[in-house]
């Protein structure tokens, strides 16, 4: 298992690759798989905004497309004074593919907090509700 600093550094590096020409709001994410692999993602904007993908979803989808199915935690980094948690759709995707993982929030200089996904998404919609 990687340490927090390694995971956060990977998310910071991913943030530098963000494509955010419209909002200028760059976000990086790094997800750690059960076997210790770190997969990164950055936000990728589109002029319509509705087609924009957040860093967390990019990281999850890359990991899943590479065959990973079990995850330990995710780090999310933005250049903000306050922690920037995943948006609602990202929380849902994280829950669907990762379950109740640890979510580490950081900015460019410090670790800003650790949370359980169940605390960020207390009443998730998932397959158990589909009968």
Catalytic residue among 32, 34, 56, 102: 56
Q: What are phi and psi of 34, to 5 degrees?
A: -60, -30
Give Rg (Cα) of the chain.
14
Which ranges of 16-129 does DSSP label H, i.e. alpha helix?
A: 55-65, 88-98, 117-120
28/81 Cα distance (integer angstroms) = 15
16 noted as active-site residue: no
Annotated catalytic residues are 56
């Amino acid at each position: 298992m990687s340490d927090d600093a390694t995971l956060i550094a990977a998310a910071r590096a991913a943030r530098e690759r963000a494509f955010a020409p419209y909002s200028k709001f760059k976000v990086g994410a790094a997800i750690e798989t059960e076997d210790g692999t770190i997969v990164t993602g950055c936000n990728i904007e589109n002029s319509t905004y509705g087609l924009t993908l957040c860093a967390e979803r990019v990281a999850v989808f890359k990991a899943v497309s590479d065959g990973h199915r079990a995850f330990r935690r995710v780090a999310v980094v933005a250049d903000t004074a306050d922690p920037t948690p995943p948006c609602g759709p990202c929380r849902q995707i994280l829950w669907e593919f990762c379950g109740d993982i640890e979510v580490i929030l950081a900015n460019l200089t410090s670790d800003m907090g650790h949370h359980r996904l169940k605390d960020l998404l207390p009443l998730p919609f998932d397959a158990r509700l589909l009968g």
